[in-house]
């Protein structure tokens, strides 16, 4: 049975990726990170979703990068701002986050002898982070081929980005066709520990707009 | 003052890199990892060496990748073997380790607005790990430029590899010219908590040979 490591934050995109990998017959290993986020709602959602999809193993890697500061997602001195429509890279950007997470996924995939890593990045409806773009993903693939024993042996681990060209509405339509229960997913940057969303941050804005554009009921539990 | 993040394991190579960065006038930020190594001698050495070089900050990132298994350096069920002269990738290989460490260094460098990351990889006297080769480092540089806000803004963070073409003896000569006290460094994969070296693993073999080739006294404290 082919194996996949699936990066799972517990949000809308990564849960759709997991549903897709499972539907394609992969034995799934989900990977989440406790990197000093301000709330636990995402990790709690990732745990429940991993159970629902009966993944082979769900690993939460503790990673003390929150100490380094620099992002509104981990640094108490920087507030998460409401959606403003700005095209600047926002304060919620965690420097090199996707690179760090993909690197750890790469190590685990090599240990498991997994064929693929699934990551739910999108370069369409996103918050302007540089590490969500196709040119970044391609550069990571190239680096990964050179970094690993598998790559050197000519059997590289695939970096699969099924959502990269999808709008949030497209992603929702894909997930709904796969039976995803989006009420279980948490996207909000400021969610309560119970998983209630603020409805006002960038992530809530993109999610809410996705449900509107897909003309489907939004099951998000707002404060 | 220009800033550098220096990856510091507490071994011979990374300590030489730190001495070099300091001699070039960088304000140094040292970065070590507690990733589930079987011994603490390296991290203790990294702490002492960071103090000696009066670095601006020494950060030890806790990173629970040891749970993932797969390497003799972290997995109790896999023994560290004595040097055998084999050219295969050895059991001490930690999948994607340099990629993970460089990724976290990249994130910290971006937060600090540091110009450079120093890493003491060598493609000459090394244990056959794929992520020590120049083609890997070049691919990481390319990926890093696309991953970060700094890279996107045309002001990339340099990945500096001063030892990449040096033999162990060359590295020792460089470090000795900079006044490095190698008795404080720990290279052994099986060091005791007091920092005594086994003298028999791959890492001890390469280090010992380096001192012989450089025709200089070996101050390593062996068991």
Range of the domain at A18: 3-213
Tell me whether residue A219 is in a domain.
Answer: no
CA distance A58 to B66: 15
Tell me whether residue A42 is in a domain.
Answer: yes
- pLDDT by residue (tens digit) across A72-100? 677 777 777 777 777 666 677 778 889 99
* Interfacial A residues in 140-179 facing B (CB < 8 Å): 140, 142-149, 151-152
pLDDT greater than 70 at residue A155: yes
Tell me whether residue B115 is in a domain.
Answer: yes
Tell me whether residue A218 is in a domain.
Answer: no
CA distance A177 to A93: 31
Looking at this predicted complex, what is its ipTM? 0.90
Query: Mutation test of the interface with chain A: which of B103, B126, B156, choosing the one with the most A Cβ atoms within 10 A?
Result: B103
CA distance A194 to B52: 47
pLDDT greater than 90 at residue A218: yes
- pLDDT by residue (tens digit) across B117-165? 999 999 886 667 788 899 999 999 999 999 988 888 899 999 999 999 9
- pLDDT by residue (tens digit) across B37-69? 778 899 999 999 999 999 999 999 988 887 787
**In the numeric block, which tokens belong to residue B212?**
């012989």
CA distance B31 to A35: 17
**In the numeric block, which tokens belong to residue A154?**
């000519």
β-strand partners of B30 = B6, B58
CA distance B213 to B158: 31
Task: For chain B, give the mean pLDDT.
Answer: 90
Tell me whether residue B93 is in a domain.
Answer: yes
* Interfacial A residues in 59-78 facing B (CB < 8 Å): 59, 61-65, 67-70
Does residue B131 sit at the A interface (CB-CB below 8 Å)? Answer: yes
CB-based contact A95 B148, cutoff 8 Å: yes
Does residue A108 sit at the B interface (CB-CB below 8 Å)? Answer: yes
Query: Mutation test of the interface with chain A: which of B70, B88, B99, B127, choosing the one with the most A Cβ atoms within 10 A?
Result: B99
Is residue A21 helix, strand or coil? helix
Nearest to residue B165, comparing CAs of B192, B204, B136, B125?
A: B125
Tell me whether residue B99 is in a domain.
Answer: yes
Whole-structure pTM value = 0.91
Burial B108-134 (b: 16+ CB within 10 A, else e): bbbbbebbbbbbbbbbebbbbbbbbbe
Find how far residue A156's CA is from the centre of its chain.
22
Tell me whether residue A78 is in a domain.
Answer: yes
| Contact status, residue B45 vs residue B191, Cβ threshold 8 Å | no
pLDDT of residue B127: 63
CA atoms within 13 A on the CB side of A181: 10
Domain count, chain A: 1
**In the numeric block, which tokens belong to residue B40?**
């603490």
- pLDDT by residue (tens digit) across A51-77? 999 999 999 998 888 778 777 677 777
Q: How far is B25 from chain A (nearest CA, A)?
A: 23
Q: What CATH code is carried by the domain that includes residue B169?
A: 3.40.50.620
CA distance B90 to A149: 10
pLDDT band at B82 (very low <50, low <70, confident <90, very high): confident
CA distance B16 to A219: 57
Nearest to residue A210, comparing CAs of A165, A178, A170?
A: A170
Residues of chain A with Cβ-Cβ distance to B145 below 8 Å are 139
Tell me whether residue A30 is in a domain.
Answer: yes
**In the numeric block, which tokens belong to residue B59?**
């950060």
Find how far residue A137's CA is from the centre of its chain.
14
């Amino acid at each position: 049975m082919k194996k996949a490591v699936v990066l799972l934050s517990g949000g809308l995109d990564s849960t759709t990726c997991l549903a897709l990998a499972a539907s394609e017959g992969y034995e799934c290993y989900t990977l989440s990170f406790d990197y000093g986020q301000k709330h636990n709602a995402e990790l709690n959602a990732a745990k429940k979703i991993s159970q629902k999809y009966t993944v082979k193993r769900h690993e939460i890697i503790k990673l003390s990068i929150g100490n380094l500061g620099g992002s509104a997602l981990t640094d108490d001195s920087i507030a998460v701002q409401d959606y403003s429509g700005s095209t600047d890279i926002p304060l919620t950007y965690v420097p090199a986050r996707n690179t760090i997470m993909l690197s750890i996924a790469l190590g685990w995939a090599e240990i498991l002898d997994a064929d693929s890593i699934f990551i739910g990045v999108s370069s369409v409806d996103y918050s302007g982070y540089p590490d969500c773009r196709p040119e970044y993903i391609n550069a990571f693939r190239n680096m990964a081929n050179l970094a690993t024993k598998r790559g050197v042996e000519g059997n590289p681990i695939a970096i699969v980005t099924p959502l990269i060209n999808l709008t949030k509405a497209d992603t929702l339509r894909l997930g709904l066709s796969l039976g995803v229960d989006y009420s279980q997913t948490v996207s909000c940057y400021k969610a309560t520990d119970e998983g209630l969303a603020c409805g006002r941050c960038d992530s809530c804005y993109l999610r809410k707009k996705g449900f509107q554009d897909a003309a489907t009921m939004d099951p998000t539990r707002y404060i």
